Chain A
């Protein structure tokens, strides 16, 4: 049992995570407070949902740098629409944001499939198109808390448990973590037990072989990018409801964090590798490292350097792991 566990790609993340947690806890025991842990889990939700989408894309052997732009477009358009029509529900807006993301993701898949172009370059282009259109035509001003639809804010405020600190201030564990868990479970099951999920691994491992054994590779590709877009759109609106404002310039550079988290979780950019549990761990590790710089009294200007080093370290490990397999 222990040996088979260590062979799993997630094992290394678990080990790194454990070491990092102990280290941070030693520097500042406040890390272990329930307050801080709840805060960490809360920070996992939005980046984690997006990471699930990127995981699918990376298993298919591609990469997506356009999903933050899609998320911001879905969020801003939906919130604007809610204000415009005085809409008071929450379900329909989330559905709309998801559909906006889905359609944009479909456009990615179309370009990649029809032009046989490298996903990185296609998604760089679509990201620029979507952000440019949003800021150029829809608007550049942030929708602040006083203008935000109150139902959306109330939804984001929902807590699972609510506790009171010694000094009287209240804190809780956001219920959004349940949505994240449900989506993660759905993607996990889809990847493991459905034909389309298995076709992703086959396509990512060897596209030509996948096509020859009869997988509909067009469907596979659209599934990966559409799901990534849909999850990004959903997460975008969720983000707005959790921070109580909608900023059309949000999520700039966010793709780096998400990709870093997915790679940390063991996915390989060459495709065919990666799992939901690994990604969840990768997301948690990245969020924890970024958030803990503050409680470890490290200047926040170092954050970017640390994220970069984490990406380099994780990819080096993955490359080393994959090379050993070949040898």
Chain B
């Protein structure tokens, strides 16, 4: 049946909500968070500025969450995403300082392009290393990425010697702070990449293979899938997504450090699980994760407005993660 774009969009949406009640539940949670926060502190929460600032800060976490979701699709996990992100930012910073010692902030667009290429290369190489360890050498993803995260973070520490690298060129800062047609540049990047990953996962052979391997690795091997290659590529994809997150983070803060965003790891795992990803593999969607990021960012901005202590927010995230797990279990049992 042929449908017009608008009709199909509506059809898709209804099918999504009916078919996958996880998305519906997530939208409900997001709406509830929004209403609760708006009711608690309307004059501060419901300002345009608040939502604008969310659109600048959420892409980093969103990309990291999608990155960890991709790793979870095959039943793995990538604990090195924060290390990759920081190493990407730090290496770009080192490049800028080498190109123009003392005047790195005034470097032009060609240098920025070089920095972007370097940051992405970090993602590819780091992801390939993880993929090599996990797919070829058969090391458990937890241990392999635990080890590589130490190596990446450690290398960033060796390169910086401890303090943050500052003085990024203006073009680099645009990536984190600029606006494209009135929309936050990081947000534009996030939407583009999320759409790309969503396409890869749902419309390409690679995506279908990933899901199959995650759902039943043994069956995938017997079905003749090149499991090694697909898993390897999935970790490269995770690495690249993490490096883009690092690029945005260093652009937004105009600094790169070996231990930025340490709390992002737990949040990324939480968001991926909250967004309907099965950590045992085989299930997960970019849309669910994206909505989960939004819900969490609204919640977190509300907490900040309500002046919750950062430690209490840590507690809430951890508790939330356990709660989501518990809810998922009871729901699955009822079926």
Contacts and interface: CB of A to CB of B under 8 A. Distances in A.
Interface of A: 63, 111, 114-118, 120-122, 124-137, 140, 256, 259-260, 263, 269-270, 299, 301-312, 315-316, 319-320, 323
A308 B147 contact: yes
B311 A131 contact: yes
Contacts of A136: 309, 311-312, 314-315
B154 A308 contact: yes
A124 B133 contact: no
A319 B265 CA distance: 26
A301 B315 contact: no
B113 interface: no
B319 interface: yes
B142 to A, nearest CB: 6
Nearest to B150: A308
B311 to A, nearest CB: 4
Contacts of A260: 146-147
A132 B312 CA distance: 5
A128 B315 contact: yes
Contacts of B266: 124-125, 128
Interface in B128-165: 133, 137-140, 142-144, 146-155, 157-158, 161-162
B321 interface: yes
Given A120-B77, A269-B140, A308 B149 contact: yes
A299 B161 CA distance: 10
A205 B274 CA distance: 31
A309 B151 contact: yes
B143 A114 contact: no
Secondary structure of the B contact surface, majority rule:
helix
Please list the 10 inter-chain residue pairs (A to B) with the smallest Cβ-Cβ separation, ordered nearest first. A132-B315, A308-B150, A128-B318, A304-B154, A311-B147, A305-B154, A132-B314, A136-B311, A308-B151, A129-B318
A128 B150 contact: no
Contacts of B309: 136
Given A126-B322, A311-B147, A311-B150, 10 more contacts: A115-B328, A118-B279, A121-B325, A124-B318, A127-B318, A136-B312, A302-B154, A308-B153, A312-B151, A316-B139
A135 to B, nearest CB: 4
29 contacts: A115-B328, A116-B329, A124-B266, A126-B318, A126-B322, A127-B318, A128-B315, A131-B314, A131-B315, A132-B314, A132-B315, A136-B309, A259-B146, A269-B143, A303-B154, A304-B151, A305-B150, A305-B151, A307-B154, A308-B148, A308-B153, A308-B154, A311-B143, A311-B147, A315-B133, A315-B140, A315-B147, A316-B133, A319-B139
Given A129-B318, A132-B318, A309 B147 contact: yes
Contacts of B144: 312, 315
Contacts of A131: 311, 314-315
B154 to A, nearest CB: 3
Nearest to B323: A125
Nearest to A305: B154
B273 interface: yes
B323 to A, nearest CB: 9
B103 interface: no
B319 A256 contact: no
A121 B273 contact: yes
Contacts of B152: 308
B311 A125 contact: no
Nearest to A263: B143
B137 A316 contact: yes
Nearest to A255: B146
A117 B321 CA distance: 11
A158 B142 CA distance: 39
The winner among B279, B315, B329 for most chain A CB atoms within 10 A is B315
B271 to A, nearest CB: 12
B146 A256 contact: yes
Contacts of A125: 266, 270, 318-319, 321-322, 325
Contacts of B329: 114-117
Contact of B150 (A120, A135, A256, A299): A256
Contacts of B183: none
Given A121-B325, A323-B138, A304 B157 contact: yes
Given A270-B140, A304-B154, A308-B154, A129 B147 contact: no
Interface in B290-324: 309, 311-319, 321-322
Given A301-B158, A311-B147, A316-B133, A128 B139 contact: no
B280 interface: yes
B269 interface: yes
Given A121-B279, A125-B322, A311-B147, A305 B158 contact: yes
Contacts of A302: 154, 158
Nearest to B144: A315
Nearest to B327: A115
A120 B151 contact: no
Nearest to A107: B322
Contacts of B312: 132, 136-137
A7 B77 CA distance: 32
B326 interface: yes
